[in-house]
Structure 1
Amino acid sequence: MKAAIRYLLAAGAALSLAACGSTTPGDEAGAAPAGKLAVVATTPEVADFVRTVGGTDVAVTQIIKPNVDPHDYEPTPADLQAIGAAKLVVKNGVGLEEWLDQTIESAGFGGTVVDSSQGVKLRKDDPHIWHDPRNAKIMVTNIQKGLAAADPGRAGTFAKNLTAYSAQLDQLDADNTAAWAKIPAGQRKLVTNHDAFGYYVDRYQLEFVGSVIPSLDTSAELSAGQLGDLVAKIKATGTRAIFTESSLPAKSAEAIAAQAGVKVVGGEDALYGDSLGEPGTPQGTYLGAEKHNTATLVAALGG
């Protein structure tokens, strides 16, 4: 990570920072269409929020692509170029984008950085704030304010989009609550690849038994003793499954599940912990990914 940032700092002096913008997460940085607000968004979740609130009036360059681990991301010269040409940079915050500050400095960015986490009640050192829809409402409100400040002439449109989307977030929260109400408390036991679902667990009153990666960060690894402890805890608590995540390999989860005698939920049913699905799929949006997560969890734990 540090080496990559040093490279960017050196490359920044040589790059010609052209205008950029993209309306789809797979596009490379390019010229923003005339009349559109050029915005860089760091994560898939934040980019989806910006597209939804900004609508057709924004051109979004999404830095981290689907199923790329944000905890260990290394910025590229294209990221540097996109940031340098943007008017607004929107981040998740809470330390998720450790690389961003130095990249912004190297890019010579002169616009505004919107920290979408402002006002969210945080769990200690946990950046996965979007897994509680109530937090997502705070995030999109922060984004709407940032867009309105950057483009006052369209503030009314951004506010209208925010109102409509906030209602959808309320409905998501209500649907999740109703789904979990059907599952006995004793069956709401969760084991995942890494500790990404703390806000979801708190919101819907699940019991977090443990994770294959013993950390909020994906770079940590289980020791032999921790692995044995997790297997024992899974057996003792009657946990029914281990849930893999779309942006992380399933091999370790499968090995632990075999020792514990439980099933692995993965493949097309893998949870979206740090990422969203591919563009154009239902899980390619925040709402679709969160609906998928709840449906998958409830089906596996309630059966």
Structure 2
Amino acid sequence: MLALTPLVAALVGCGSDGAGGGVSDGRMPVVATTSQVADFTRAVGGDLVRVTQIVRPGVDPHDYEPAPADLAAIGDAKVLVQNGVGLESWLDDTIDAAGFDGVRVDASKGVTIRVGQGDEEKAGDPHIWHNPLNAKIMVADIERGLTAAEPAAAARFHANRVAYDARLDALDADIRRQIATIPPANRELVTNHDAFGYYVDRYGLTFVGSIIPSFDTSAELSGSNIRKLVARIRQTGTKAVFSESSLPPRTARTIADEAGVHVEAGESSLFGDSLGPTGSDGDTYLRMEEHNTHTIVAALR
């Protein structure tokens, strides 16, 4: 058992919704920050790990505020998996408060990071998972971290990762096939914020613009930028505006109305920063990317 700070010990004693303290079922306790890296960790760890996911489905990870149960889970974990690239700006302070001393995995290690424009985006674009080839790097990072914490299970973790890699390769091939059915002149994307740059680069789309022109959803929403985006949509002949599941759709609908184009909102929103809840079209990484691709192709083709 890891040594806990007095604060975390008190929280564990009160229970933590099965998140960490007080639970012993033989599996290695792992904390994953976002829904994407939690899904990857479950795929690699299989039934050898018990994964606590900090940011719940549908919740924006950019400005998340950790709860006491998160501290308890982190304090009890043997491995902590994060997305990296500045997405979890709240994480370092949380780790310090929890007294975590296990293996910390930055799943962005080895990924080529897209560069932002402003000082607030100097860490780069954190939405690395939207390219399945980046996801393969992320799961390899996770495999190494789990193996460091539990060397005896190395062969199991490796086999799980290899099997998942095959599914990621199949996903990548299917996305490329589907995008190829969109007429080249229609391959233009407008979204809530700059969350799909890796997807755009991988599959040869043109990024026309976003409602919030930033990697961070907490950036200021500008009326002048919205007017410029409407003009850009009209100028380029872009066919649709895509809302995102973890963000309010009202502004996307307004922009689409002003530009006279279709809007994808509600259940057909793109899953940008978060997976969807259990039973939704985006409740796993693979299903999320399949849903996003089907939605984009149907709207632009």
CA contact (8 A) 1:189 1:239 kept: yes
Alpha-carbon distance in 2 for matches of 1:78, 1:132: 32
Instruction: Tell me what 1:131 maps to.
Output: 130
1:64 aligns with 2:47: no
Instruction: Tell me what 1:73 maps to.
Output: 64
Query: Structure 1 221/167 Cα, relative in aligned 2: closer, same or farther at 3 Å?
Result: same
1:18 aligns with 2:17: no
1:197-230: CA deviation from partner (whole Å, max 9, x where unpaired): 0000000010100111121110123322212111
The residue type paired with residue 43 of structure 2 is T
Alpha-carbon distance in 2 for matches of 1:116, 1:36: 21
Describe how 1:95-110 pairs up with structure 2 within 5 A.
Answer: 95-110=86-101
Alpha-carbon distance in 2 for matches of 1:90, 1:266: 31
Q: Alignment partner of 2:221: what SS?
A: coil
The residue type paired with residue 78 of structure 1 is A
Q: Alignment partner of 1:94: what SS?
A: coil
CA contact (8 A) 2:62 2:87 kept: yes
1:23-54: CA deviation from partner (whole Å, max 9, x where unpaired): xxx96445444321100000000000000110
Equivalent in 102, 105, 113 of residue 122 of structure 1: 113
By how many angstroms is 1:149 displaced? 1.1
Describe how 1:152-167 pairs up with structure 2 within 5 A.
Answer: 152-167=151-166
Describe how 1:207-218 pairs up with structure 2 within 5 A.
Answer: 207-218=206-217
Query: Is there any run of 5+ residues in structure 2 with no aligned partner, and where?
Result: 116-123
1:152-204: CA deviation from partner (whole Å, max 9, x where unpaired): 11111110100100000000000001111111221011000111000000000
Query: Structure 1 21/150 Cα, relative in aligned 2: closer, same or farther at 3 Å?
Result: farther
Query: Structure 1 109/210 Cα, relative in aligned 2: closer, same or farther at 3 Å?
Result: same
Q: Alignment partner of 1:182: what SS?
A: coil
By how many angstroms is 1:91 displaced? 0.2
Q: Alignment partner of 1:38: what SS?
A: strand
Instruction: Tell me what 1:36 maps to.
Output: 27
1:49 aligns with 2:48: no
1:192 aligns with 2:186: no
Query: Is there any run of 5+ residues in structure 1 with no aligned partner, and where?
Result: 1-11
By how many angstroms is 1:252 displaced? 0.7
Q: Alignment partner of 1:39: what SS?
A: strand
Query: Structure 1 137/20 Cα, relative in aligned 2: closer, same or farther at 3 Å?
Result: farther
By how many angstroms is 1:282 displaced? 4.4
1:247-298: CA deviation from partner (whole Å, max 9, x where unpaired): 0000111111111111110111110000001124442100000000001000
Instruction: Tell me what 2:245 maps to.
Output: 246
Describe how 1:268-287 pairs up with structure 2 within 5 A.
Answer: 268-287=267-286
Alpha-carbon distance in 2 for matches of 1:204, 1:113: 32
Q: Alignment partner of 1:246: what SS?
A: coil
Instruction: Tell me what 2:118 maps to.
Output: none
Alpha-carbon distance in 2 for matches of 1:264, 1:27: 40
Percent of aligned pairs sharing the same letter: 59
Instruction: Tell me what 2:121 maps to.
Output: none
Alpha-carbon distance in 2 for matches of 1:250, 1:286: 22
Alpha-carbon distance in 2 for matches of 1:158, 1:32: 22
- CA RMSD across the alignment: 1.8
Alpha-carbon distance in 1 for matches of 2:271, 2:29: 27
1:83 aligns with 2:74: yes
TM-score by length of 1: 0.91
Q: Alignment partner of 2:290: what SS?
A: helix
The residue type paired with residue 174 of structure 1 is A
Alpha-carbon distance in 2 for matches of 1:29, 1:250: 35
The residue type paired with residue 253 of structure 1 is A
CA contact (8 A) 1:21 1:38 kept: no
Equivalent in 104, 108, 117 of residue 113 of structure 1: 104
Instruction: Tell me what 1:9 maps to.
Output: none
Alpha-carbon distance in 1 for matches of 2:176, 2:278: 27
Alpha-carbon distance in 2 for matches of 1:232, 1:80: 46
Alpha-carbon distance in 2 for matches of 1:154, 1:19: 30
Query: Structure 1 21/280 Cα, relative in aligned 2: closer, same or farther at 3 Å?
Result: farther
By how many angstroms is 1:14 displaced? 3.0
